[in-house]
């Protein structure tokens, strides 16, 4: 059996696969078993923040795996403690961390923190969480229900946990709050929902209102965190201080990790939550090195320079193909181009692949760009040349 047959026979069909076999990566360039190269504007859906084949990450993994990969959270884990400190320092928030294996798990932890807060901090129980339409918070039963997309609430997975409601706009949230509302959960830039940043002033107004009314603000930074929007957290960019923040994706540079961080350090007690694999030696050692790499990239000025260069190239494409695109959206290296319909969206993704550049879909009408933060100017230039070639054929 060839690889495609093996996959179709033995792997559950939860993805619409593109059967290309990548065997090597170098920063933002991928190579197949047929020795064809692709410029990667996706970084594994915003995960490979430090690029493919990063030598520092590889060395860290090798060195750590020689000594210890896992011992469980029943014991002190040195890189976990150091990573928690590093994240707190980079964020500028006085928060404590819970480590998991994914963004969905981090969001599960955030919801549990909020639910317990609503139980122990008030005379009557508060448990409801408000989210936004077009949001995405994960694929577990609870985080699917927290996701404000009706087409993800499929009946064959029901019944879902109650206590979640959705608003179309930020301004609708105020009238949705009742005596049982404990938290509002949102992404500052909706990723799956179309790379849509919310206005800074509106977010700041909402944050202030929630604080005044003792309602928690949970910010899902699974995709926006780890310098993706220019600062370590999009929350820093928006100049707010949430009660709970969740991270994953780029923090581990490709090694699975999730983080729920909160200023309510005393909410969880031993036994309230846990994870067998979460925060083990391998994942936290890799994430600590990734945070060091990205911190250096930011402090050197290279990250900001890369973001400016990428935006300029994207703008050239946008202005050249006004027949295809209606809007340019996003922040930092989390970018999108709105297209006129879903058929055009699909054609652009396919043509781009055929021309050696990988891009993503977001929502029903957006082409999404999430390149490695270490991407070079040469790779950006070549990637947009290939995208230009792809668009010419439409």
CATH number at residue 229: 3.40.640.10
Which residue from 330, 333, 337 is spatially nearest to 306, judged by alpha carbons?
333
Cβ contact 198:189 at 8 Å: yes
Query: Does 374 reside within a domain?
Result: no
> How many domains, in total, are found in the chain?
2
* Phi, psi values for residue 25, rounded to 5°: -135, 145
Query: Does 357 reside within a domain?
Result: no
Shared-domain flag, residues 222 and 324: no
Domain span at residue 323 reads 302-330
211 vs 201: CA distance, rounded Å: 16
Which residue from 308, 302, 261, 219 is spatially nearest to 51, judged by alpha carbons?
302
Distances in Å between the Cα of 176 and the Cα atoms of 108, 128, 131, 202 are 22, 10, 10, 16
Express each pLDDT in 124-181 by its tens digit: 999 999 999 999 999 999 999 999 998 889 999 999 999 999 999 999 999 999 999 9
Residue 279 banded pLDDT, cuts 50, 70, 90: very high
Shared-domain flag, residues 230 and 309: no
Cβ contact 333:297 at 8 Å: no
- Per-residue pLDDT at 356: 98
Shared-domain flag, residues 225 and 314: no
Dihedral (CA of 361, 362, 363, 366) sign: negative
Going by their DSSP bridges, the two strands 216-220 and 196-197 should be labelled as: unpaired
Shared-domain flag, residues 192 and 315: no
**Across the chain, how many H-helices and E-strands are there?**
13, 17
pLDDT surpasses 80 at 209: yes
Query: Does 233 reside within a domain?
Result: yes
* Phi, psi values for residue 333, rounded to 5°: -110, 35
Average pLDDT for 118-123 = 96
Shared-domain flag, residues 174 and 99: yes
Cβ contact 246:91 at 8 Å: no
pLDDT surpasses 80 at 111: yes
Query: Does 89 reside within a domain?
Result: yes
Shared-domain flag, residues 77 and 149: yes
Dihedral (CA of 257, 258, 264, 269) sign: negative
- Per-residue pLDDT at 25: 98
Query: Does 64 reside within a domain?
Result: yes
Shared-domain flag, residues 155 and 205: yes
Cβ contact 183:217 at 8 Å: yes
Query: Does 287 reside within a domain?
Result: yes
Average pLDDT for 350-367 = 96
Q: ∠140-141-142 over CA atoms, to 5°?
A: 90
Query: Does 246 reside within a domain?
Result: yes
- Per-residue pLDDT at 1: 74
Distances in Å between the Cα of 307 and the Cα atoms of 186, 316, 319 are 24, 14, 18
Query: Does 348 reside within a domain?
Result: no
- Per-residue pLDDT at 192: 86
**Of the residues 285, 315, 330, which one is the last residue of a structural domain?**
330
For the residues of 35-99, what is the DSSP string, one character each? --EEEESSHHHHT-TT-BT-HHHHHHHHHHHHH-S---TTS--HHHHHHHHHHHHHHTS--EEEE
- Per-residue pLDDT at 151: 87
Shared-domain flag, residues 285 and 309: no
Tell me what the pLDDT averaged over the chain comes to: 97
Give the whole-number percent of the chain exceeding pLDDT 70: 100
Average pLDDT for 336-345 = 94
* Phi, psi values for residue 162, rounded to 5°: -90, 180
233 vs 131: CA distance, rounded Å: 20
Cβ contact 281:72 at 8 Å: no
Cβ contact 61:390 at 8 Å: no
Shared-domain flag, residues 222 and 314: no
Shared-domain flag, residues 282 and 319: no
| Residue 195 falls in which region: left (phi positive, over 0), alpha (psi -120 to 50) or beta | left
The strand pairing partners of 25, in sequence order, are 30
Shared-domain flag, residues 197 and 324: no
Q: ∠202-208-211 over CA atoms, to 5°?
A: 140
- Per-residue pLDDT at 144: 96
pTM of the full predicted structure?
0.96
Shared-domain flag, residues 285 and 308: no
């Amino acid at each position: 059996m060839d690889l495609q047959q093996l996959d179709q026979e033995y792997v559950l069909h939860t993805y619409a696969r593109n059967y290309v076999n990548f065997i090597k990566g170098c920063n933002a360039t991928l190579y197949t078993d047929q020795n064809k190269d692709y410029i990667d504007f996706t970084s594994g859906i915003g995960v490979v923040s430090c690029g493919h084949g990063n030598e520092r990450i590889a060395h860290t993994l090798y060195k750590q795996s020689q000594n210890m990969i896992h011992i469980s959270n029943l014991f002190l884990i040195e890189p976990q403690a150091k990573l928690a400190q590093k994240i707190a320092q980079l964020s500028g928030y006085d928060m404590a961390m819970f480590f998991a294996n994914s963004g969905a798990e981090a969001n599960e932890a955030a919801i549990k923190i909020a639910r317990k807060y609503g139980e122990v901090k008030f005379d009557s129980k508060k448990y409801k969480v408000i989210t936004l339409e077009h949001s995405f918070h994960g694929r577990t039963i609870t985080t699917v229900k927290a996701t404000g997309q009706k087409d993800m609430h499929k009946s064959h997975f029901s019944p879902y946990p109650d206590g979640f409601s959705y608003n179309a706009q930020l301004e609708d949230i105020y009238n949705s709050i009742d005596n049982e509302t404990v938290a509002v959960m949102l992404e500052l830039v909706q990723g799956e929902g179309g790379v849509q940043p919310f206005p800074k002033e509106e977010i700041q107004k909402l944050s202030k209102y929630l604080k005044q009314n003792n309602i928690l603000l949970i910010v899902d930074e699974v995709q926006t965190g780890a310098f993706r929007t220019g600062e370590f957290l999009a929350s820093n960019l928006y100049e707010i201080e949430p009660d709970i923040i969740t991270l994953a994706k780029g923090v581990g540079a490709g090694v699975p990790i999730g983080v729920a961080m909160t200023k309510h350090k005393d909410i969880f007690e031993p036994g309230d939550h846990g994870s067998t694999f979460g925060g083990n030696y391998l994942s936290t050692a890799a994430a600590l090195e990734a945070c060091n790499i990205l911190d250096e990239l930011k402090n050197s000025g290279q990250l900001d320079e890369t973001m400016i260069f990428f935006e300029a190239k994207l703008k050239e494409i946008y202005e050249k193909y006004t027949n295809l695109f209606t809007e340019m959206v996003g922040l930092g290296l989390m970018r999108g181009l709105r297209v006129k319909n879903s058929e055009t969206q699909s054609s652009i993704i396919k043509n781009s692949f055929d021309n050696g550049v990988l891009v993503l879909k977001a929502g029903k009408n957006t082409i999404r760009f999430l390149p490695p933060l270490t991407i070079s100017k040469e790779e950006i230039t070549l990637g947009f040349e290939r995208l230009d070639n792809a668009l010419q054929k439409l």
